[in-house]
Chains A and B, each alone.
Chain A
């Protein structure tokens, strides 16, 4: 088989497609100092980035409110080759509110939120399992909704409020203790994703029924099949939060 044919036949995952799309978006938008990024809820973020030396200042306007953060870059800029055409793709600084803290982070346009959380911010709770948006292991809570961080481009998330399992644990949310009490983990790889989905459910529905719990958590896969014990765990947490 020729190389061209091999390339044409290469399996493209949904996430690869997403990342390639991100490169295109980033390649056109990040060349300037102004980034317009569409947010999940149709909200528009205007972000101005000015950089000098190793320090960048980001002025961010979300919903009419303006905030400014300063980021010190610790690694030199990286030049990469995107797609099949050699060329430079700039990095961009995005601002996130993660677990209550404003964070500025330099990202490439094709990086997923899960990559940024894991590799750049050291928040390893959001796990990569399927790499295709099918397992729920990378679930985080964004603006109150459970989202698959492997399916979100990081640059799309600027200005978002993100909650990860680390933040849920730090806040001493009762779902954590409930998961321990009910032995909800075996290998534990998918557990953080379940916790994020369960916490998002409880935020919106403090007294979920058994069917509502199953409906909410059925997008999270567990090969150890811990499924039965997640239900009493969520119910226990609901009880401590004042629900049933």
Chain B
């Protein structure tokens, strides 16, 4: 398809769009979700189905010395007991996503090592020992209680800094020759842009006493960085550190998976999730080829990261355990977790030490970051792990260097929980707020002064836009003005600690300026999406068949909108067919069905391309039947019309078109850069980060109780162009509330003597409710500068990520003192010297 075909929308004004950016259209899943008909993974029930529980380790680090399952096996109603030493269970340790699985994306050590079902656990709640299938869960639970275990309890460490001290307990003590930086050599060497970034792998850890728990140690440097010169050019410097506590990466739906074997040896499974399960991993775990899996994707009850459960432990054990138990019993087996069994956390837990140099006008001259963080996923660019990423992506700060040491802990996996960019956002917020306070301005002013990309000013960005036919709009200026005006910011603005209110509380504000970042399935190589799509026409309707990518962003409706607009069909004549089928088109990428807005935006290119193919086929066939040429015809409102005389029209349903299809399996990166932008590879990251957004939160802090009340919240996002306005706004206010929740009140609490969690339940783990925050004023700006069709861009993780950074800065503005994340009353009182 020629490049011009990808750019057709540029000449299409918003008012000419039919199904795009139109309000008042119900989500395609609205009926299912408001009537109780929507089937989630938890709801799947098959005839004769058995129920299974998996043993979870009660210790932070322990090994099974002996396991007696005889009483459990004898319990009436127990149908199968799967022990770790069963020949079915592969004894190998799974090191996350294997390089053989996704060599261009993931490292050999994507997650921490684990077993499918082993005899040793490296964190509390790890699956091990035994799984039991029974007639119902009551029996399975009772049987599990009858299992006798003799444990060898080992030393553990759950604190990042302690894990890096000489003599610290060795987390993965079976590993004697682990090269902590092997993955770095593998992963980042192929993913950075050498012209703008460099990496160094710290040498010399081998053989050192405190090297046991090092997962990696990297230093990232923005091209051209001279820290010494940068700090010398500054009028002053600030050095500070902050800590981030663990946030529980839970899904509302407690995970369960149903597995059954077909007569011809296929493993059929049902599991709700935001992404297509990575069958390559499960192939290793179950021991059958990928083509022998039949995945089904019921609705997912909220999943906010991790892409699919194969990368998350203990979640990943469900499919292999279900498969083995189903094989043993010959019956379908539903593996069901309990609430506390679901473990996952955002990757930003740790301590971050930062030095920033700035001039008196707010120009930042240099930033140095030293981070020690918990074991993390290795996705994304290196700045993700040092926290420097957002300085690179949307500022002109010329000198940025960050070092990140990632430590293994006796804790569950840490990864992207809406999302891995949180640490970037937190460090940027802390730097901007501190510099703003130091020079007596607000954070928005700091953002404007330092606006740019990759160390260049906005002239560099404008040149990029002009060279690539992207509208050159001052996105930051617009969103900043919009957000500030919404809360009367300039009138309310005050220096930190100077906002005493008549009610005795302390008024505080935080302004978070940043960019609409693109991650995950963006078109930026190598994290592009390859997507399979099948369109067919029958009886005047267009049917789209593809995996349903949805973690709540309403991909079904969005794709139907795009098809309707591209083909000239009425929206009601475009249907998403077979939404519960999980079509795995490309097993070695994790991006072919992730449900977030970036995935949606990126693979919308495939939808556009495929819809155009089918439209052209329909027009060609219609032309033959109507005795004309396809150039003379068009499709408008589901009718074939003559362009010269639109009143001469024929309903599509009146034509014998049934059976016509279009199939695409496209690389969105090639479509975007090679087609739309016509850029050579590797492209500039600037293509993805040019839209900006601003969040503002206003709080009142009670100095007597430490309570922090959010009294006002505003989100202004340059969304490029919204495909579905209500859905886009939902990502804005929903993300903002979730972010304020994580930075304000959420924290997984551990018991130091045992290393076990104290609050893996929703009595003790608090999230914001409607009583805490029931309104976020949303403003959408549509610059059409995004990387998706129509100039759209995904924003689903942006507000959440930025607001996850903001509450300490708001409390600082109120009180004049800094509080670590989250800003709980206890922390506030302690910071105020009252506790």
A interface vs B, CB < 8 Å?
1-3, 6-7, 9-11, 13-14, 78-82, 84, 108, 110, 118-119, 123-135, 137, 164-166, 169, 176, 179-192, 195, 214-215, 217-231
Query: Of B32, B148, B338, which one neighbours A188 at CB under 8 angstroms?
Result: B32
B411 → chain A closest CB, angstroms? 18
Cβ-closest chain A residue relative to B62: A1
Determine whether the beta carbon of B733 is less than 8 Å from that of A81. no
Per a CB cutoff under 8 Å, which of B76, B153, B304, B730 touches A81? B76
Q: Which residues of A contact B40 (CB under 8 A)?
A: 124, 127, 189
Q: How far is the CA of A183 from the CA of B761 in the complex (A)?
A: 28
Contact B762 A130 (CB under 8 A): yes
Known: A81-B75, A127-B301, A218-B770. 20 other contacts (CB 8 A): A79-B77, A80-B142, A110-B138, A127-B253, A128-B42, A130-B762, A134-B762, A135-B252, A166-B37, A169-B34, A182-B726, A183-B727, A184-B34, A189-B301, A190-B252, A214-B771, A223-B250, A225-B768, A231-B774, A231-B775
B734 x A221 contact (CB < 8 A): no
State A221–B737 Cα separation when bound (angstroms): 12
Residue of A179, A222, A226 most packed against chain B (CB within 10 A): A222
Chain B residue nearest to A133 in the complex (CB): B763
Q: Say yes or no: is B474 at the interface (Cβ < 8 Å to chain A).
A: no
Q: Judge whether A228 and B733 touch: CB under 8 Å.
A: yes
Are A80 and B139 in contact, CB atoms less than 8 angstroms apart?
yes
How many Å lie between the Cα of A220 and that of B150 in the bound state? 42
Write out the residue numbers on chain A whose beta carbons fall within 8 Å of the beta carbon of B77.
78-80
Q: Decide if B253 touches A195 in the complex (CB within 8 Å).
A: no
The CA of A224 and the CA of B302, in the complex, are separated in Å by 7
Q: Does B142 contact A132, Cβ atoms closer than 8 Å?
A: no
Interface size class of B (residues with CB under 8 A): 35 or more
Interchain CB contact (< 8 A) of A6 among B136, B149, B254, B769:
B149
Chain A residues, CB < 8 A from B304: 223
Residues in B neighbouring A80, C-beta threshold 8 A? 76-77, 138-139, 142
Ranked nearest first, the 6 interchain pairs of A and B with the lowest CB-CB distance are A125-B36, A186-B552, A188-B33, A189-B301, A225-B737, A218-B771
Q: Hey, what's the 0/1 contact readout for B297-308 against A, CB within 8 Å counting as 1?
A: 001111110000
Beta-carbon contact of A124 and B551 below 8 Å? no
Most buried by B among A132, A176, A183, A219: A183
Residue among A110, A223, A229 with max Cβ neighbours from chain B (10 Å): A223
* Chain B hits for A79, CB < 8 A: 76-77
Q: A1, B58: Cβ atoms under 8 Å?
A: yes
Which residues of the partner chain B approach A125 to less than 8 Å between Cβ atoms? Answer: 35-37
Give which listed residue, A180, A223, A224, A228, contacts B27 with CB less than 8 A: A180
> Which B residue sits closest to A119, measured CB to CB?
B45
Would you give the 0/1 interface string for B45-59, flagging 1 where the beta carbon is closer than 8 Å to chain A? 100000000000011
* Residues of chain B from 5 to 48 with CB closer than 8 A to chain A in the complex: 24, 26-27, 29-40, 42-43, 45
The smallest C-beta distance from B79 to any residue of chain A, in angstroms, reads 13
Residues of B bordering A, CB below 8 Å: 24, 26-27, 29-40, 42-43, 45, 58-59, 75-77, 135-136, 138-139, 142, 145, 147-151, 153, 250-254, 299-304, 338-340, 551-554, 726-727, 729-730, 733-738, 741, 761-763, 767-771, 773-776
From A81, A82, A191, A219, contact of B769 by CB (8 A): A219
Beyond A14-B763, A119-B45, A188-B552, is A129–B727 a contact (Cβ under 8 Å)? no
Instruction: Chain A residues near B303: list those with CB within 8 A.
Output: 187
Q: Which residues of A contact B59 (CB under 8 A)?
A: 1
Instruction: Report chain A residues within 8 Å CB of B302.
Output: 186-187, 189, 223-224
The answer to whether residues A189 and B253 also contact, given A181-B26, A221-B762 and a CB cut-off of 8 A, is: yes
> Is A185 touching B27 in the complex (CB atoms < 8 A)?
yes
CB nearest neighbor in A for B725 = A183
30 CB-based A-B contacts, threshold 8 Å = A7-B145, A14-B763, A80-B76, A80-B77, A81-B142, A110-B138, A124-B39, A124-B40, A127-B40, A127-B42, A130-B763, A132-B339, A134-B762, A165-B35, A166-B37, A180-B34, A183-B30, A185-B33, A185-B552, A187-B301, A187-B551, A187-B552, A188-B32, A188-B552, A195-B34, A221-B767, A225-B733, A225-B741, A228-B776, A231-B775
Q: Is the CB of A227 within 8 A of B773?
A: yes
B32 cross-chain contacts in A, Cβ below 8 A: 188
Q: How far is the CA of A125 from the CA of B338 in the complex (A)?
A: 19
In whole angstroms, what is the CA distance A82 to B735 when docked? Answer: 44
B16 to A: closest C-beta gap in Å: 24
* Complex CA–CA separation, A1 to B572 (angstroms): 62
A223 to B247, CA, bound (A): 13
CA distance A95 to B613 in the complex (A): 58
| Contact in complex: A134, B761 (CB < 8 Å) | yes
User: Distance in Å from the Cβ of B276 to the closest Cβ of chain A?
Assistant: 17
B768 in contact with A123 (CB, 8 Å): no
Which residues on the B side are within 8 Å of A13 (C-beta)? 339, 761
> Which residues of chain A are near B136, meaning CB under 8 Å?
78
For B135, what are the chain A residues with a Cβ–Cβ distance below 8 Å?
78
Closest A-chain residue to B336, C-beta based? A128
CA distance A137 to B250 in the complex (A): 15
Min CB distance, A216 to chain B, in Å? 9
**A189 x B252 contact (CB < 8 A):** yes
Which of B254, B302, B554 gathers the greatest number of chain A CB atoms within 10 Å?
A: B302
Question: Which residue of the partner chain B has the closest CB to A231?
Answer: B774
Residues of A within 8 Å of B762, CB to CB, are: 129-130, 132, 134-135, 221
Q: Are A230 and B34 in contact (CB under 8 A)?
A: no
Whether A165 and B34, one on each chain, are in contact in the complex, defined by CB atoms closer than 8 angstroms, is yes
Using A79-B76, A214-B774, A228-B776 as known contacts, say yes or no to A131 and B34 having CB atoms under 8 A apart: no
Nearest Cβ on chain B to A144's Cβ, whole angstroms? 19
Query: What's the Cα separation between A82 and B138 when bound, in Å?
Result: 9
**Which of A123, A219, A221 lies in contact with B36, CB distance below 8 A?**
A123
Q: Name the A residues within 8 Å of B151 (CB-CB).
A: 1
Q: Which of these, A131, A166, A176, A223, contacts B254 with CB under 8 Å?
A: A131
Name the residue of chain B whose CB is nearest to the CB of A19: B138
Write out the residue numbers on chain B whose beta carbons fall within 8 Å of the beta carbon of A186. Answer: 302, 551-554, 730, 734
Give the shortest distance, in Å, between B32 (CB) and chain A (any CB).
7
- Residues on B with C-beta less than 8 A from A127 are 40, 42, 252-253, 301
In angstroms, Cα B26 to Cα A185, docked, is 11
Across the interface, name the chain A residue whose C-beta is closest to B778.
A228
B149–A230 touching, CB < 8 Å = no
Which residues from chain B contact A166 at a C-beta distance below 8 Å? 35-37
In angstroms, Cα B32 to Cα A185, docked, is: 10
Taking a contact as CB atoms under 8 Å apart, the answer to whether B730 and A191 are in contact is no
A132 & B763 in contact (Cβ 8 Å cutoff): yes
Complex-state Cα separation, A179 to B763, whole angstroms? 28
Query: In the complex the two chains form, what is the Cα distance from A132 to B138 in whole Å?
Result: 17
Q: How far is the CB of B427 from chain A (nearest CB, A)?
A: 24
Q: Are B31 and A180 in contact (CB under 8 A)?
A: yes
A residues in contact with B76, CB < 8 Å = 79-81
Closest Cβ of chain B: how far from A59's Cβ, in Å? Answer: 29
Please report the C-alpha to C-alpha distance between residue A161 and residue B6 in the assembled complex, in whole angstroms. 58
In Å, the complex CA distance between A127 and B42 comes to 9
Distance between Cα atoms of A133 and B27 in the complex (Å): 30
CB distance from A168 to the nearest CB of B (A): 8
When A9-B58, A81-B76 are in contact, do A223 and B767 touch as well, CB less than 8 Å? yes
Q: Is the CB of B58 within 8 A of A185?
A: no
Shortest B794–chain A CB gap in Å is 15
- A227 pairs with B737, CB closer than 8 A: yes
How far apart are the CA atoms of A228 and B768 in the complex, in Å? 12
Nearest Cβ on chain B to A86's Cβ, whole angstroms: 9
How close is A19's CB to chain B, nearest CB, in angstroms? 8
The distance in angstroms between the C-alpha atoms of A195 and B30, with both chains bound, is 13
Q: Are A226 and B27 in contact (CB under 8 A)?
A: no
A185 contacts B34, CB within 8 Å?
yes
Residue of A nearest to B299 (CB): A188
**B587 CB to nearest A CB, Å:** 25
How far, in Å, is A120 (CB) from chain B's closest CB? 11
**From A16, which residue of chain B is reached at the shortest CB distance?**
B141
Alpha-carbon distance between A191 and B727 when the two chains are bound, in angstroms: 15
Minimal Cβ-Cβ distance residue in B for A227: B770
In the bound complex, how far is the Cα of B252 from the Cα of A224, in angstroms? 9
